[in-house]
Amino acid sequence: MFKPESMTTGNNKADSARRTVSVMMTTLTAACALFAVVILLLILGYIAARGIGSLNLQFLTDIPRPVGEGGGIGNAIVGSLVLLVLSSVIGMPLGIATGIYLAEFGVGRFAGVVRFMADTLTGIPSIVVGVFVYTIIVLPFRQFSAFAGGVALALIMIPIVARTTEEMIRLVPASLREGALALGAPQWRVTLGVVLPAAMSGIATGAMLAVARVSGETAPLLFTALNYNDFNYYLDQPIASLTVQIYNYSISPYDEWHAQAWAATLVLMTLILVINIAVRFFTRKRV
């Protein structure tokens, strides 16, 4: 086979140096990836190892008790679920509607601004959302409440849901829309009856991810939902949550509470990992 002069002779030293650099850098990037994964495994491993010890049925159902008397996170689990349902009820419809608008009517400057604001809003620190909700809900009513916490979480949810919904609807082939329109359906029936069902699994995936994201939020709850040491089912009263409970226990000076913080974290991480892995599983199946 013909080979140019320069490739067979001469410059061999320079070439091998270049190749060495290339191999070194490849190894280095691989080491970076490995390092990130090791950190992940370390974190998950510690949570599993430290959390499993304090985990039992009593812990999962009891309310917090003073040091030395055991106690559990039953009210925090229920509180987190209440907050998640509340924020989903407020945030999902608004987010999905905004997403539909962006996907179906999303041309022009207004849609561009909405899209940009949604993306920017996802980057606003959640503690700032907490401050905002405090000023518009907690202060006027002079009352920390589950409702305020739900609103704060919903505000975090809306831009995430809006953008994933938009992306998912855009994936629906234009031929589906055209077919429905050609059959004489008005736009709203095409969107609600044909496009949305086709994009539903994707939208549900995005919604689940938003729930997973919001379920780990602590900062916006600190001065909206506050915390509560018993079960609470009234939306105008403070309510406990897993994350705030983890925070309070982990900065406490008591070993027993530290152990409970790890166990509560194990519960929270299980929820988040199950959602993430399930989403991964379903999306892979679809694509």
Partner 1 sequence: MSNPQPALPTPASAYGARARVWDWRRALSPTGDLGDAVFRGALFLCALLLLLIVAAMIAAMASMSTLSMREFGWGFLTSSQWNPLANKFGAWPFIYGTVMSSIIALLISVPLSLGVAVFLVEQAPARVARPLTFLVELLAAIPSVVYGLWGIFVLAPFLRVHVMPPLQNWFGFLPLFQGSITGISLLTGGVILAIMITPIISAVVRDVLAAVPVSQREAALALGATRWETTRVVLANGGPGIAGAIILGLGRAVGETMAVTMLIGNRPEVSASLFAPSYTIASVLANEFREATGDLYVSALVQLGLILFFVTFVINGAARLLVWSVTRGTSGTARA
**Which residues from 54-73 bind partner 1, rule CB under 8 A?**
none
Contact range with partner 1 by CB under 8 A, out of 57-65, 74-82, 98-106, 193-201: 98-106
Extract the tokens encoding 51.
């959390």
List the interface residues with partner 1, window 208-237 (CB under 8 A). 212-213, 215-219, 222-223, 226
Query: Least distance in Å: CB of 46 to partner 1?
Result: 6
Q: Does 52 bind partner 1 (CB under 8 A)?
A: no
C-beta of 141: minimal distance to partner 1 in Å?
A: 14
Supply the minimum distance, in Å, between the C-beta of residue 238 and partner 1.
11
Output phi, psi for 71, to 5 deg.
Answer: 95, 170
Q: Could you count the other beta carbons within 10 Å of the beta carbon of residue 247?
A: 18
User: Are the beta carbons of 64 and 71 closer than 8 angstroms?
Assistant: yes
Would you call 227 helix, strand, or coil by DSSP? coil
In the complex, least distance from residue 63 CB atom to partner 1, rounded to whole angstroms: 20
Compare residues 25 and 67 and give the one whose CB is closer to partner 1.
Answer: 25
Q: Which residues of 9-30 are buried (b: 16+ CB within 10 A; e: fewer)?
A: eeeeeeeeeeeeeeeeeeeeee
CB of 191 to partner 1, least distance (A): 7
Beta bridge partners of 71: 64
Interacting residue with partner 1 among 21, 89, 204, 278 (CB under 8 A): 21
Stretch that binds partner 1, among 65-73, 74-82, 181-189, 195-203 (CB under 8 A): 181-189
84 contacts: CB under 8 Å, gap ≥ 6: 153, 211, 214, 215
Interface with partner 1 (CB under 8 A), residue total 99
194: its two tokens: 């044909």
Binding to partner 1 in span 249-268, by CB under 8 A:
250-251, 258, 261-262, 265, 268
**Closest distance between partner 1 and the C-beta of residue 273, in Å?**
7
| Angstrom distance (rounded) from CA 100 to CA 113 | 15
Is-contact 235 219, C-beta < 8 A?
no
Give Rg (Cα) of the chain. Answer: 25
**What are the residues facing 283 on neighbouring strands?**
none
Counting contacts by CB under 8 A, is residue 283 touching partner 1?
Answer: no
Question: Which one among 10, 66, 125, 197 touches partner 1, defined by CB under 8 A?
Answer: 125
In the region spanning residues 143 to 162, those forming contacts with partner 1, defined by CB under 8 A, are 155, 158-160, 162
Decide if residue 181 touches partner 1 (CB under 8 A). Answer: yes
d(CA 223, CA 145) in angstroms, rounded, equals 9
CA separation for the pair 169, 186 (Å, rounded): 18
Q: Does 193 bind partner 1 (CB under 8 A)?
A: no
Cβ–Cβ < 8 Å for 210, 228: no
Q: Residues 48, 94, 176, 235: which binds partner 1 (CB under 8 A)?
A: 94
Binder to partner 1 among 184, 253, 285, 287 (CB under 8 A)? 184
Give yes or no for residue 89 binding partner 1 (CB under 8 A): no
